[in-house]
Structure formats: structure tokens, C-alpha cells
């Protein structure tokens, strides 16, 4: 017990040292309590409390939690907590859930200043009231896992965050870490350095005779990792103790296999850039967009990650201008292909004859070609794309890339790759494949864009709606499984709630989202407005969207085709009548339809009261809560 606690105390001390920061980003040794140092072995030190806090994952603990974490009797824990409180190092608070909770006295001094606390064992960093500099530094080596307004930012340092950092050397990365944390965290830096080394063990290079070679830093790493994981379908034969001759077309598979083994591969192949294509961007990039483009230029590949409305498409055109080569853009639908074409004409120097679309509606390959994933993956069309040397391939909505239908398009070779996604998450947990197939994530945390005013933070409210009639309520009670969710989602009481919300926001441009065609038709008929779905002909879709953009109409009912397949115009008001039982990404896309540089954006999510739909809505919107969006809840009275 004594040995185990002494090693934990060292780590807890590290946490305290990087926790409190003064303006000069240093910590005085006088902050250490002399009473704590003088405590007897039988007593409880503040370091012990920090250790228990780390083990329990909470800064506020009950006596029972301290006893459990430190493996001492409950009565002894209570006595020692009282002793710490008498020395002024702990405060106590009586709450209804437990007789007493305890927390460090220093927590009461957090009102007006930034505080960073590092948990090296969990590789977590908790920041209260972070300034923009700290957040910018943290984003270079850590993942923002939770955000709650100005307080409670929780970052996690994952292996992939270290593997994909933009720094040239570990010393540069360590310098950034110390700037962000205010001081050195030796335990965390040691782990980060080990991951940095992993990320530089393998690389793909082009041999002087033109074929691809997999190179390892040492013979040991080649023999113990690469040659254990890779087979004949990946490599022809060894060239030396540290080099293997790669089979043509197996490069992406090799990168994926070694990535999953914990060894990302540096891609230094000398790929052809294709014909030069002069592209001038005729728009000014915001500072964060220019940072995205600069990071992409440094790495040669990447995924722009940002909320809807943050300008990922325009930033992608900045990347196109940097590459200055022929470009293939892959999109999920022909509607997005058309919109990409129009946007390129608007924001770049390219002319119409230089831009082609390749999908079910038209098939033109030009210096800049916009194709659907489905077409690009078909054998009878692949040769058209394979035979052209692309300087850049852009994967729009790249969260789909790991799927069996879309991943074939990633076999296309190009010197540069760029993905775009508002939310690169997948319910099958295959999101890591996005970054192995396309490139590392590049982006800005959503909260920073909200604060800077580049993107409006929507006000999001879950409204629990009563049943519209007893027939549906009885049917729900006798159903089971997915059928219960379907009945709750189509609750006819939601029609009245949609009417109520629209009347409460007169003059607002509104989008009403549904998951079920019959429900969409019912709501559209009740409101006497159009219903845009997958059954709507393409020319009719285009007309309806243009009318909405030009303010000739102010209300559309939209099926799930609006989540990603088309580029919906932004609105003042979004009402999600059904659909939150789908995916976290769907919630992101729908909430994002109100994100723009103006205020007043509102999102209402309707869930039938007392059903599984309540649980689905809360769970799926937690993802947005972690990105800094405030989520409220409201129970609707029957008379509404």
C-alpha cells in the first residue's frame, strides 16, 4: 500500500504543479503546503486526495470514494478528511445525495483565471476558462472531448493526435505542450515521445526504378511488426533488412494494416501531380481557414473538420489553388456535384469549360472533375479516373469513406488527398479508417468558432411532446423493438407542435426534418408546403431550394435526403420532427443547418414523451453538447 501510494503521489504532485498558473506561466514552490509535507504516514495528505480524485475521475469526493480509492476503512477516511479540512486544505459541502462531499480549497479560487490540470495516467487535460492561445496550442496535440461553455474543457491525448501533429520534431511538439500546460508534465511528455517515435518507424518511398518501397527505421521493427502483419498481397519480397518491395496498388492497405498495429506510415512517395492547372482563389480566407490550408500544404494530405457553415468548401478551394494541379472531387450525390461546380465558378478563376461533372446525369472528365462516389467505384468507369494523373483528390462528406461502397474510390492514386467533414464519426467505430485512407484531421474546435462569431451557436431544445391520439399510444404499448421507435417517431401530436413552434417564430425561415415519408407528407399537407424527399425529381429539388435561398419561400419539409445528399440553404429555425434515433452524425448535420455568421439560430427536437425516443434524443445530442452547444429540455403541455 505504501509503495503504491508513493508512486501515485509523484503523479498527483505533477498535476498540482501544472494546475495553478500565474500570468508568467510559472508555479511557485511556496504553493506546496508545509502541513502536507509534515503529515505523518498514518495521516492523509492533499496529495493522497488528488490521487484518489484521479482514480475516481472526479475532483469532488465522498468519504466512501476516498476510502475505496485509497483502500482504507471508511471511518479512517472520514477522520483524515476532517483533519485536512482543519488545516484549510479541503472544504466540505453537505448535499442531498450523500451526507458530505469534499473538494480542495484551491477550487474556490478559480473564478476569474485560467486553470489547467493534467492527469498523466489517463492522458487527460482539464481546462477551466481557457484563453484562445491555450486552446490553439492544445488543438495541435490533443482532442477536445467535452466542452461546457467557458468552463470544463476536457482534452484527451490519443495516439492518433500525436501521430498527426504538424510539428517537424519532438522538441517542437514538447515546446508547444509546455506552452499550453504552463509547465512540463514529464510523465505525459514521455508517453507522447513514445508515440512520436512510433509515428516515424515506417515510410513509403519511391525507388529510383519507379516502384514503391516500404522502409523501416530498424531491422527489428521491420521483422517484428511489418513482416509479421503484411502478407504476399502487400509486398513482393524483401530488398534488404529494412526495405520491402511493395505490390502496386497495395499502398493504402499497408498504411491501414500498420496504422491498426499502432505504427502509422509516413507517405513520401514521389507521385505524379498531373498537368499544371492555374487556380486563383477569388475570396479571402478567414484566419482559421488559412491555418487549415497551411497545415494541409505542410502534410500534403488531411481532413478539414469543422461545423456546418465554417467554410470547409471554400478552404478546400484554397487547397486546390495551393496544389495547382488537376483535381478530382468526390461527392455523395449529383445535387452536390452541381453545387460544387457552381461554387467553384463563383469563388475561383476557373471557367465553365474547365469543370466537368461525372454521374448519372452527365459524364464529362475535365481538369477539375466532380464525380459521385458510386460512379468512381464502378469497374466500368474506374479506368477513366485511373488513367488521369490527379494532383488532388477531394473526398467530400468523407465520413462515408470506410463503407464498402465508398472505400473503392480511395484506391485512386494522387499526390495530395483532402477530406471534408463536419463530424467524422461513425456508429460502427471505423472513423480511424477515415484518417488512414484520406489523411490526418485538420480543424478548429467548434466552441472557438462560436466565440469568434464566425459560426452562430444554435439554441438547441429537446421538446417532449404528448401523444396526439390514443390509437397510436395503444399501438406503442403493444409493439416492441424498432416498431416502438417508429410509432413514437410518427406521433401525430408532433403536427400540432410544429404548428405551435412556427406560430411562435413568425417570419422565420424554417426547415422541418422527418425520417418517414408518410409523416413528411402528412406534415407538408397540414402546413400546405412542399415536401422535399428522395422521390422529388432533381429539377424540382433545384427549384424548391432556389426559392428558399432567394426568400421566395420560408418553409420546407425535408426527409433524410437533406442530411448530406444535398447542400441545404441555412435557416433561422430547424424543427426535427423525427430522426434522432439514427446517428450522432445526423444530429450534427441537422443542427448545422442553422449555423451561420448571424445570430438567432434555433433548433427544436421533438420526442414523444415517455417513450424510447426520449432516450435516443438525449443520447444523440450529447455529441453536440460536447462540442460546446447548449442543449435544453422542455416538457410540452397537452394544450400546446
Q: Name the residue among 613, 562, 614 with its Cα closest to residue 592.
A: 562
pLDDT at position 200 over 70: yes
pLDDT average, residue stretch 296-310: 83
312: closest CA among 343, 333, 334?
343
pLDDT for residue 596 = 46
139-148, 161-170, 602-611: segment of lowest average pLDDT: 139-148
User: With contact defined as beta carbons under 8 Å apart, do 633 and 605 qualify?
Assistant: no
Task: Say whether pLDDT at 7 is over 70.
Answer: no
User: Which range is least confidently modeled, 107-111, 468-472, 553-557?
Assistant: 107-111
> Judging by DSSP bridges, how do beta strands 459-465 and 631-635 pair with one another?
parallel
Give CA 303 to chain center in angstroms: 11
Going by pLDDT thresholds of 50, 70 and 90, the confidence category of residue 17 is very low
| Stronger pLDDT, 234 or 69, i.e. the higher one | 234
Minimal CA–CA distance to 440: which of 266, 223, 243?
266
CB 332 within 8 A of CB 290: no
Per-residue model confidence (pLDDT) at position 25: 34
Count of alpha carbons within 13 Å of 235, Cβ hemisphere only? 21
In angstroms, the CA 443 to CA 303 distance is 8
- Over range 41-45, report the average pLDDT: 68
Residues with Cβ within 8 Å of 594's Cβ and at least 6 positions away in sequence, in order, are 456, 458, 570, 571, 572, 573, 574, 601, 602, 603
Annotation: CATH topology of 287-447: Rossmann fold (3.40.50)
Say if 287-447 and 456-635 have the same CATH topology: yes
pLDDT value at residue 33: 36
Say which range, 94-103, 558-567, 582-591, has the weakest mean pLDDT. 582-591
Task: Work out the burial of residue 631: count CB atoms within 10 Å of its CB; fewer than 13 is exposed, 13-18 middle, 19 or more buried.
Answer: middle
**Least confident among 181-190, 265-274, 552-561:** 265-274
Q: Are strands 265-268 and 414-421 parallel, antiparallel or unpaired?
A: unpaired
The 235-240 sheet, strands edge to edge: 235-240, 243-246, 212-216, 202-206, 265-268
CB-CB contact of 269 with 212 (8 Å): yes
- Residues 546, 568 contacting (CB under 8 angstroms): no
Cα(273)–Cα(392) distance, integer angstroms = 8
Side-chain half-sphere exposure of 149, counting CA atoms within 13 A: 3
* Vertex 605: Cα angle to 599 and 608 (nearest 5): 160
Q: In degrees, to the nearest 5, what angle opens at C-alpha 509 toward C-alphas 506 and 510?
A: 95
Domains of the chain, by residue range, sit at 200-268, 287-447, 456-635
Name the DSSP letter for residue 140. Answer: T
Give dist(CA 451, CA 135) in Å, integer: 12
Q: Which of 490, 614, 620, 501 is nearest to 563 (CA)?
A: 620
Burial label, 7 (beta-carbon count in 10 A; 0-12, 13-18, 19+): exposed
In the predicted model, is pLDDT for residue 123 greater than 80? yes
Instruction: State the pLDDT at residue 408.
Output: 65
The 3-class SS string of 274-307 reads CCECCCCECCCCCHHHHHHHHHHHHHCEEEEECC
Largest CA-CA distance found in the chain, in angstroms, rounded? 82
Contacts of 171 (CB under 8 A, 6+ apart): none
Poorest-pLDDT segment among 249-263, 319-333, 512-526: 249-263
State how far the Cα of 90 lies from the Cα of 50, in Å rounded to an integer: 11
pLDDT of 340 reads: 93
Predicted local confidence at residue 256, as pLDDT: 81
DSSP per residue, 159-205: HHHHHT---SSHHHHHHHHHHHHSS--HHHHHHHHHHHHHTTSEEEE
What per-residue confidence (pLDDT) applies to 109? 52
Q: Are strands 202-206 and 531-532 parallel, antiparallel or unpaired?
A: unpaired
| Separation between Cα atoms, residue 122 and residue 429, nearest integer Å | 21
Contacts for 581 with CB less than 8 Å, ≥ 6 apart: 485, 489, 515, 612, 613, 616, 620
- Pair 366, 354: CB distance under 8 Å: yes
**Residues above pLDDT 70, as percent of the chain:** 73
Helices 46-56 and 63-70, interaxial angle, to 10°? 90
Query: When comparing pLDDT for 175 and 568, which is higher?
Result: 175
Among residues 191, 37, 199, which one has the least CA distance to residue 118? 191
Q: In the predicted model, what is the mean pLDDT of residues 230-247?
A: 94
DSSP string of 333-346, one letter each residue: SHHHHHHHHHHHHH
Residue 170 — pLDDT band, cuts 50, 70, 90? Answer: very high
pLDDT of residue 493: 93
**Phi first, then psi: what are they for 460, rounded to 5°?**
-115, 130
Count, in order, helices (H) and strands (E) of the chain. Answer: 27, 25
pLDDT at 622: 65
pLDDT of residue 318: 95
Range with the lowest mean pLDDT among 29-43, 53-67, 167-181, 498-512?
Answer: 29-43
Q: Assign residue 538 a region: left if phi > 0, alpha if psi is -120 to 50, beta otherwise?
A: alpha
- Cell matching residue 253: 492497405
pLDDT at 226: 95
CA neighbours closer than 13 Å in the CB half-sphere of residue 222: 19
| pLDDT above 90 as % of the chain | 27
pLDDT tens digits for 415-426?
788 999 876 554
**Phi-psi label, residue 631: left if phi above 0, alpha if psi -120 to 50, beta otherwise:** beta
Confidence of residue 448 (pLDDT cuts 50, 70, 90): low
- The fold adopted by the segment(s) 456-635 is Rossmann fold (3.40.50)
Amino acid at each position: 500500500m505504501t509503495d503504491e501510494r508513493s508512486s501515485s503521489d509523484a503523479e498527483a504532485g505533477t498535476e498540482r504543479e501544472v494546475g495553478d498558473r500565474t500570468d508568467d506561466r510559472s508555479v511557485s514552490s511556496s504553493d506546496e503546503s508545509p502541513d502536507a509535507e509534515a503529515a505523518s504516514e498514518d495521516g492523509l495528505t492533499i496529495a493522497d486526495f488528488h490521487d484518489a480524485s484521479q482514480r475516481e475521475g472526479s475532483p469532488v469526493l465522498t468519504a466512501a470514494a476516498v476510502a475505496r480509492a485509497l483502500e482504507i476503512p471508511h471511518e479512517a477516511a472520514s477522520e483524515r478528511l476532517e483533519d485536512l479540512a482543519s488545516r484549510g486544505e479541503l472544504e466540505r459541502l453537505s448535499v442531498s445525495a450523500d451526507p458530505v462531499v469534499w473538494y480542495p480549497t484551491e477550487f474556490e479560487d478559480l473564478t476569474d483565471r485560467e486553470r489547467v490540470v493534467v492527469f498523466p495516467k489517463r492522458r487527460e487535460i482539464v481546462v477551466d476558462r481557457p484563453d484562445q492561445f491555450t486552446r490553439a496550442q492544445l488543438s495541435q496535440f490533443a482532442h477536445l472531448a467535452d466542452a461546457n461553455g467557458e468552463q470544463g474543457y476536457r482534452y484527451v491525448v490519443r495516439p492518433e493526435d500525436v501521430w498527426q501533429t504538424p510539428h517537424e520534431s519532438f522538441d517542437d511538439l514538447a515546446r508547444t505542450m509546455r506552452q499550453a500546460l504552463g509547465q512540463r508534465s514529464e510523465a505525459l511528455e514521455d508517453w507522447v515521445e513514445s508515440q512520436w517515435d512510433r509515428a516515424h518507424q515506417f515510410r513509403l518511398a519511391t525507388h529510383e526504378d519507379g516502384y514503391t518501397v516500404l522502409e523501416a527505421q530498424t531491422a527489428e521493427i521491420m521483422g517484428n511488426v511489418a513482416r509479421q502483419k503484411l502478407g504476399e498481397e502487400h509486398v513482393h519480397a524483401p530488398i534488404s533488412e529494412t526495405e520491402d518491395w511493395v505490390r502496386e496498388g497495395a499502398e493504402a492497405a499497408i498504411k491501414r494494416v500498420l496504422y491498426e498495429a499502432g505504427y502509422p506510415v509516413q507517405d513520401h512517395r514521389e507521385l505524379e501531380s498531373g498537368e499544371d492547372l492555374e487556380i486563383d482563389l477569388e475570396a479571402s480566407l478567414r484566419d482559421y481557414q488559412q491555418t487549415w490550408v497551411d497545415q494541409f500544404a505542410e502534410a500534403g494530405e488531411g481532413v478539414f473538420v469543422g461545423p456546418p457553415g465554417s467554410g470547409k468548401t471554400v478552404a478546400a478551394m484554397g487547397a486546390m489553388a495551393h496544389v495547382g494541379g488537376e483535381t478530382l472531387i468526390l461527392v455523395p450525390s449529383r445535387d452536390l456535384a452541381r453545387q460544387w461546380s457552381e461554387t467553384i465558378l463563383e469563388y475561383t478563376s476557373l471557367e465553365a469549360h474547365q469543370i466537368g461533372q461525372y454521374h448519372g446525369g452527365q459524364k464529362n472528365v475535365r481538369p477539375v472533375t466532380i464525380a459521385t462516389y458510386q460512379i468512381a467505384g464502378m469497374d466500368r468507369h474506374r479506368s477513366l479516373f485511373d488513367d488521369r494523373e490527379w494532383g488532388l483528390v477531394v473526398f467530400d462528406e468523407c465520413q462515408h469513406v470506410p463503407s464498402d461502397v465508398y472505400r473503392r474510390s480511395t484506391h485512386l492514386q494522387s499526390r495530395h488527398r483532402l477530406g471534408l467533414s463536419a463530424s467524422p464519426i461513425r456508429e460502427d467505430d471505423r472513423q480511424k479508417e477515415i484518417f488512414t485512407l484520406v489523411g490526418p484531421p485538420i480543424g478548429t474546435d467548434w466552441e472557438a468558432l462560436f466565440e469568434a462569431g464566425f459560426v452562430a451557436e444554435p439554441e438547441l431544445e429537446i421538446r417532449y411532446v404528448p401523444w396526439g391520439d390514443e390509437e397510436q399510444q395503444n399501438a406503442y404499448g403493444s409493439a416492441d423493438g424498432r416498431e416502438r421507435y417508429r410509432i413514437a417517431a410518427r406521433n401525430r401530436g408532433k403536427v400540432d407542435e410544429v404548428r405551435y413552434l412556427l406560430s411562435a417564430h413568425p417570419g422565420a425561415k424554417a426547415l422541418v426534418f422527418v425520417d418517414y415519408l408518410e409523416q413528411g407528407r402528412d406534415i407538408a399537407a397540414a402546413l400546405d408546403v412542399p415536401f422535399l424527399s428522395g422521390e422529388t425529381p432533381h429539377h424540382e429539388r433545384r427549384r424548391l431550394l432556389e426559392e428558399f435561398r432567394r426568400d421566395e419561400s420560408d418553409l420546407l419539409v425535408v426527409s433524410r435526403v437533406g442530411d448530406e445528399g444535398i447542400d441545404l440553404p441555412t435557416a433561422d429555425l430547424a424543427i426535427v420532427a423525427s430522426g434522432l434515433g439514427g446517428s450522432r452524425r445526423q444530429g450534427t448535420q441537422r443542427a448545422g443547418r442553422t449555423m451561420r455568421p448571424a445570430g438567432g439560430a434555433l433548433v427544436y427536437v421533438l420526442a414523444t414523451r415517455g417513450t424510447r425516443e426520449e432516450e435516443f434524443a438525449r443520447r444523440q445530442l450529447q455529441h453536440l453538447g460536447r462540442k460546446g452547444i447548449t442543449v435544453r429540455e422542455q416538457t410540452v403541455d397537452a394544450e400546446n
